[in-house]
Structure 1
């Protein structure tokens, strides 16, 4: 199909967190592999890890435990994993380009600039406890997301069981923006949103929400989907299971783009004008 080219300017950017803003994916893998090694099980392959990314914790754990066949209960695995998380997650760092991207978008929201504002919200499957564990030492970085525009996996505003790859978390993130827009600013439509994701279920969730998507995956995830990139960008990999595909995109429809990193982001391509840094 011919890609669409007449998109309106992006007015809102919705961000995943793990593996997109923060370097947590390798930490997750390390924690799991330490437990697998303890019980003489093979290391986690990317074919399985790809299915865990982006999903709410309970859904991811179910997939993992069915594959791992550990000689311990789900509760014992969760407890051992939590100990490792407590030890390692406070060392998370932003991925390349992330601080510059976020601060650039925030500059568009200043009251004394003439360029259109680009609003931002967070939409992460991490539950609040893990969110705090990963971000408490990065308070300045995450201060750009107002509390009411942070949607986490156990957010009471989300219907349980409706995590990624379903669209609810991104639709809620957009609602948090629209509910807090400055007086006189028109509500933002889904097609005026740009979702930033690293996971395949996350891309599908963004497409199901009727939004444009940037896919910026871990290099090993990109390798896992080699030759299927257009399916990923269209949200048509089937990661949601037996769910009607009428909501997702078509191959090559122009709604999504792969980026190797968030460095030197092409704002102009998405109709965003970034004000210069004030002296």
Structure 2
């Protein structure tokens, strides 16, 4: 067990996942999946499987799902049926509790020295699905400038390097640093705060050398009861035996779990609103 660090610099960048963190799309994914499972007389998707799929790129999540589901249709046919239901459900996504206030507050947030706090989006959602889920929430997502949105099909992320690999969060930071105002000092990973709901996403943030806020779905938390500290350290083994030196330690102070994004403790992270 590592001693808990307390001498962190103020947060200068907040990097956000999207599905299940900013909007209720994770629940809609479950509805889509269960509708198809019922169509073929298969049981509903259990959280033990969904927990493994969450946060991952579509191809990785799909492999986990199909190995469990054993559907009598091809993956291609499944995707066709899934897309049909998603087109119905995704345009009705809603912000989760606390999201609207948090994003609004961050627009005015500063460090104690007066430096601006920047935001970026880092989601495994591909562009077409991103548009389905967010077009009706344009004012909410306007806080993420287009050049600071990193999506799952971004060509700059190498194949196989989606979450829990750190690449998407490192790229999100890169988009911020590439567009800082003249005279602004480059932001380092430890000055970044990653917001995640998924276990692979938490690990991605930790592997990127960033601090992390974990806001899990209540059902996901049930699946990880007793292992919460492992999740916060990024040590659940989601990313395999790669780059282990970048992982955190139990109780090292780099990550914490919150029940929702309501009443966010800005002062704790060196932000003044």
TM over 0.5: yes
User: Does the aligned pair in 2 maintain the 1:116–1:273 contact within 8 Å?
Assistant: no
For residue 245 of structure 1, what is the aligned residue in structure 2?
244
The residue matched to 1:204 in structure 2 has which SS?
helix
Structure 1 unmatched ranges of 5 or more: 275-279
Question: Displacement of 1:160 after TM fit?
Answer: 1.9
Q: 1:194 aligns to what SS in structure 2?
A: strand
Match of 2:181 in 1: 182
Distance in 1 separating the partners of 2:7 and 2:240:
32
Aligned match of 1:155? 154
Match of 2:49 in 1: 48
- Hey, what's the Cα distance between the residues in 1 that align with 2:254 and 2:74? 42
Residue in structure 1 matched with residue 169 of structure 2 by the alignment: 170
How far apart are the structure 1 equivalents of 2:109 and 2:272? 8
How many Å separate the matches in 1 of 2:117 and 2:228? 28
1:141 is matched with which residue? 140
Match in the other structure for 2:117: 118
Count the aligned residue pairs: 271
Tell me which stretches of 4 or more aligned residues in structure 1 moved more than 4 Å: none
State the Cα deviation string for residues 253-277 of structure 1 (Å, max 9, x = none).
0000000000000000000011xxx
Q: Any idea what SS the aligned residue of 2:34 has?
A: helix
Cα distance in 2 for partners of 1:269, 1:108 equals: 13
Partner Cα separation in structure 1 for residue 241 and residue 73 of structure 2: 30
Question: Which residue of 2 is the match for residue 277 of structure 1?
Answer: none
What SS does the aligned partner of 2:212 have?
A: strand
In the alignment, the residues of structure 2 paired with residue 80 and residue 40 of structure 1 have an alpha-carbon distance, to the nearest angstrom, of 15
- SS of 1:163 mapped into structure 2: coil
1:108 and 2:109 matched = yes
Between stretches 181-190 and 244-253, larger displacement belongs to: 244-253
Structure 2 residue ranges without an equivalent (≥5): none
Equivalence for 2:91: 90
- Deviations, residues 90-149 of structure 1 (Å, cap 9, x unaligned): 00000000010001001237xxx9832100000000000000000000000000000000
> Distance between the aligned counterparts of 1:244 and 1:196, measured in 2?
21
Q: Give the TM-score normalised by the residue count of structure 1.
A: 0.95
1:241 Cα deviation (Å)?
Answer: 2.5
Secondary structure at 1:223 match in 2: helix
- 1:32 maps to 33
**Structure 1 CA distance for aligned equivalents of residues 132 and 246 of structure 2:** 35
Give the RMSD, CA atoms, in angstroms: 1.2
